[in-house]
Amino acid sequence: MPPTGGVPLPFSEAVKLGDTLYVSGQIGIFPGSLTLEAGGIGPEARRAIKNLKAILERHGSSLAHVVKCTVFLADISEWPAFNEVYREYFGANLPARSALAASGIALGARVEVECIAFVPSTK
């Protein structure tokens, strides 16, 4: 599977080791492109998490199986707005998480999210 839905970038979208899936950081770009979702932190966060969800599902996991997320924000003052979106997707099933401000995110994104997830056995 090509990384990032077909855009040739120098990393894997995810790497599986045993029953653990390590998903590369996702920004709010449309699949197969390098175009950011317009509208700032809210729409970008939704798109980034949708991208994570799609990758998890392609590799046999889901948002419900995420055990750890790392969130990089271009501006830490947008942390509360990000948290609103994050809760839409994770609800009460909150994984462990770290969040920090970065001095720059690829393509001028407002947020990048990476995660580690469990991949249940299909036996």
pLDDT digits (tens, 9 = 90+) for 48-65: 999 999 999 999 999 999
Burial of 6 (0-12, 13-18, 19+ CB in 10 A): exposed
pLDDT at 93: 85
Tell me the per-residue pLDDT of 76-89, one tens digit each, with 9 for 90 and over: 999 999 999 999 99
pLDDT at 9: 78
d(CA 8, CA 20): 24
Mean pLDDT of 86-95: 94
**Selection from 59, 38, 62 nearest residue 49 by Cα:** 62
In the chain, what are the domains?
Answer: 3-118 (3.30.1330.40)
Report the distance separating Cα 82 and Cα 85, nearest Å.
5
Q: How long is the chain?
A: 123
pTM across the whole model? 0.91
Q: What is the pLDDT of residue 11?
A: 87
